[in-house]
Amino acid sequence: MTGDKIIELKGVERHYVQGARKLTILNGVEFSLRRGEMVALVAPSGAGKSTLLHTAGLLERPDAGDVILGGRACGRLSDDERTAIRRNDIGFVYQFHHLLPEFSALENIMMPQLVKGLPPAEASARAAQLLDYMQIGKRGHHRPAELSGGEQQRVAIARAVANAPLVLLADEPTGNLDPVTASYVFDALAALVRQSGLAALIATHNHELAARMDRRVTLSEGKVVPI
CATH of domain 36-61+77-226: 3.40.50.300
Phi first, then psi: what are they for 44, rounded to 5°?
-65, 160
Q: CA 226, CA 216: separation in Å to the nearest integer?
A: 6
- Each domain of the chain, given as residue ranges in start order, spans 36-61+77-226
**What does the pLDDT read at residue 1?**
39
**In a 10 Å sphere around its CB, with 0-12 CB exposed, 13-18 middle and 19+ buried, how is residue 138 labelled?**
exposed
At CA 8, angle to CA 6 and CA 11, rounded to 5?
175
Per-residue pLDDT of the chain (227 residues; tens, 9 = 90+): 344 899 999 999 999 988 888 889 999 999 999 999 999 999 888 888 999 999 999 999 999 999 999 999 998 899 999 999 998 899 998 877 789 999 999 999 999 999 989 999 999 999 999 999 888 999 999 999 999 988 998 899 999 999 989 999 998 888 888 888 888 888 888 888 888 889 999 999 888 889 999 999 999 999 999 99
